[in-house]
């Protein structure tokens, strides 16, 4: 892999940019690998990268049904934060945030991580109590988070409407200054390039259609649209399709897959300094470096794999955006799309061993998986290499639905759904 640097740009500038090499290769699959990862999103590619880098396992294939980063990795609103309530959540999201901070240097790829601040708006006394509880829990745990009055919030985001007569009036906000955004495609591409450089095979347009198991129940490999590929360890990181893939091994996971929509506006001059989220009215907004306003909506109520969603959901979100930021009422929306999120009953992810020997699962990231990409990938690699979870991810087991030790971020209302 040729390193990207200012000298590389200068060198290529002098020879008409003809020397750039492909960022990763597209090899034909071998007959078997040490590890197969199902799903080439950020989590899967990252896990392959960390397996190669930290655990010395390089004979890995990442198998992808569509194209690399074409699922939820390329469909989210790129928000990064770690202001969750419970220790299990704070552990993993903070681990991830720390990796985000050095990711561009580590991968030699500009992931455009921008700690511009994530502000969560409080609209009523319940929000206020809940956010202050989060802030206290975060600060006791060493994670930055602070309470702002409406006036302080407006000083940070001048376009915010804090008038008392607003339809969604605000009585304060929580701000995590280290939170922010990153370029989602670059995360997938950066991990793909770095993993391929260490010998990982990235096999796109290859659908896994079955998981073959041996006499003792252990995994032997996967049936794919390109034939059988053997492996003694399989990591499933298939987001919205996790139920479908796990079913192939006879494992039921407590997930339901629902569409989540996002949309972007026409590009504007820099106007919006940070990320603003409102859990109460299901709206998130930030401005990309291209100038588009990136807006996230809520999930649809029913299970679906359609990668689309109801118009009433985004209408509701845009109602809220126009109320909170009256100056955006005349902005035109340019594109809208949906991704399929895999939601658990407690809205916390599942990462752990399964009843099938050799089969590991990383799913249930629901509506908030992007922020967790480096941390989740890093800990998933540890799980696959060692066969047991890292202590930071020890609580995220599949078994918690039997033992009852849930991580109920849903009830804590730290996530929007």
Partner 1 sequence: MLLIHCPYCEEDRSELEFRWAGEAHIARPENIAAISDEEFAEFFFLRNNEKGLTYERWRHIHGCGRFFNAARDTVSDRFLLTYKAGLPKQPVPVAEKFAAIAEEKSVETWEQTEGDAR
Residues lying near partner 1 in the complex (CB under 8 A) are found at 241, 243-244, 252-257, 301-306, 308, 310-312, 345, 401-404
The tokens describing 309, both together, are: 């969603």
The tokens describing 83, both together, are: 């202001």
- Cα within 13 Å of Cα(7), Cβ side: 2
- Least CB distance to partner 1 at residue 235 (A): 20
Residue 385 Cα distances to 199, 277, 299, 400, angstroms: 16, 37, 34, 22
- Spell out the residues 6+ positions from residue 401 whose beta carbon is closer than 8 angstroms to its own: 254, 345
- Least CB distance to partner 1 at residue 329 (A): 23
Strand partners, 60: 35
* Euclidean distance between CA atoms 139 and 145, whole angstroms: 7
Q: Are 222 and 228 in contact (CB under 8 A)?
A: yes
Q: Is the Cβ of residue 89 or residue 344 nearer to partner 1 in the bound state?
A: 344
Q: Is the Cβ of residue 199 or residue 250 nearer to partner 1 in the bound state?
A: 250
Sign of CA pseudo-dihedral 138, 140, 142, 148: positive
Q: DSSP readout, 167-203?
A: TT--SEEEEETT-EE--HHHHHHHHHHHHHHTT-EEE
Provide the pairing of β-strand 333-343 with 256-265.
antiparallel
- Least CB distance to partner 1 at residue 13 (A): 43
Sign of CA pseudo-dihedral 142, 143, 147, 152: positive
Q: Is the Cβ of residue 83 or residue 304 nearer to partner 1 in the bound state?
A: 304
* Euclidean distance between CA atoms 315 and 328, whole angstroms: 14
- Spell out the residues 6+ positions from residue 415 whose beta carbon is closer than 8 angstroms to its own: 279, 347, 366, 367, 368, 409
Q: Is the Cβ of residue 170 or residue 246 nearer to partner 1 in the bound state?
A: 246
Q: Are 338 and 302 in contact (CB under 8 A)?
A: no
- Least CB distance to partner 1 at residue 2 (A): 41
Q: Is the Cβ of residue 155 or residue 411 nearer to partner 1 in the bound state?
A: 411
- Least CB distance to partner 1 at residue 399 (A): 9
Q: Is the Cβ of residue 205 or residue 301 nearer to partner 1 in the bound state?
A: 301
Q: Is the Cβ of residue 129 or residue 303 nearer to partner 1 in the bound state?
A: 303
Q: End-to-end CA distance of the chain, in Å?
A: 42
- Least CB distance to partner 1 at residue 239 (A): 13
Phi, psi of 346 (to 5 degrees): -100, 5
- Least CB distance to partner 1 at residue 197 (A): 35
- Least CB distance to partner 1 at residue 349 (A): 15
Q: Is the Cβ of residue 221 or residue 338 nearer to partner 1 in the bound state?
A: 338
Task: Assign 297 to helix, strand or coil.
Answer: strand
- Least CB distance to partner 1 at residue 311 (A): 6
Q: Is the Cβ of residue 108 or residue 308 nearer to partner 1 in the bound state?
A: 308
- Spell out the residues 6+ positions from residue 402 whose beta carbon is closer than 8 angstroms to its own: none
- Least CB distance to partner 1 at residue 258 (A): 9
Q: Is the Cβ of residue 70 or residue 310 nearer to partner 1 in the bound state?
A: 310
* Euclidean distance between CA atoms 78 and 343, whole angstroms: 18
- Least CB distance to partner 1 at residue 249 (A): 15
What's the full length of the chain, in residues?
417
Q: Is the Cβ of residue 176 or residue 243 nearer to partner 1 in the bound state?
A: 243
The CB density around residue 185, as the number of other CB atoms within 10 Å, is 17
């Amino acid at each position: 892999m040729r390193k990207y640097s200012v000298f590389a740009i200068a060198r290529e500038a002098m020879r008409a940019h003809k020397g750039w090499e492909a960022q990763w290769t597209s090899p034909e699959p071998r007959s078997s690998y040490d590890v197969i990862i199902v799903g080439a999103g950020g989590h899967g590619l990252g896990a392959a990268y960390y397996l190669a880098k930290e655990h010395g396992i390089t004979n890995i294939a990442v198998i992808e049904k569509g194209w690399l980063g074409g699922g939820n990795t390329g469909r989210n609103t790129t928000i990064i934060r770690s202001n969750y309530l419970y220790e299990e959540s704070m552990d993993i999201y903070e681990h991830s945030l720390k990796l985000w901070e050095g990711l561009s240097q580590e991968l030699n790829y500009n992931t455009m991580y921008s700690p511009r601040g994530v502000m969560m708006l409080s609209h009523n006394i319940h929000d206020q109590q809940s956010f202050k509880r989060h802030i206290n829990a975060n600060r006791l745990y060493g994670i930055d988070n602070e309470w702002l009055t409406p006036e302080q919030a407006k000083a940070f985001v001048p376009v915010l409407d804090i008038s008392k007569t607003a339809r969604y009036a605000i009585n304060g906000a929580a701000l995590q200054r280290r939170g922010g955004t990153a370029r989602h495609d670059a995360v997938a591409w950066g991990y793909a390039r770095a993993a391929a450089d260490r010998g990982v095979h990235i096999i796109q347009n290859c659908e896994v259609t079955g998981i073959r198991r041996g006499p003792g129940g252990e995994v032997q490999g996967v049936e794919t649209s390109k034939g059988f590929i053997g492996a003694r360890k399989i990591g499933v990181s298939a987001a919205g399709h996790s139920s479908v893939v796990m079913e192939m091994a006879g494992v039921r996971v407590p997930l339901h897959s629902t569409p989540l929509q996002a949309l972007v506006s026409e590009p504007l001059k820099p106007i919006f300094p940070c990320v603003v989220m409102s859990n109460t009215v299901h709206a998130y907004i930030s401005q990309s470096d291209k100038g588009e306003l990136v807006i996230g909506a809520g999930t649809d109520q029913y299970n679906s794999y359609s990668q689309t969603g109801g118009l009433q959901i985004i209408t509701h979100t845009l109602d809220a955006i126009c109320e909170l930021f009256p100056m955006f009422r005349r902005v035109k929306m340019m594109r809208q799309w949906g991704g399929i999120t895999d939601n658990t009953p407690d809205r916390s992810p599942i990462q752990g061993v399964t009843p099938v020997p050799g089969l590991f699962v990383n799913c249930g990231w629901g509506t908030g998986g992007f922020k967790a990409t480096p941390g989740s990938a890093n800990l998933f690699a540890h799980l696959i290499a060692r066969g047991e979870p890292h202590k930071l991810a020890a609580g995220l087991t599949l078994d918690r639905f039997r033992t009852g030790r849930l991580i109920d971020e849903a009830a804590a209302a730290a996530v929007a759904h």
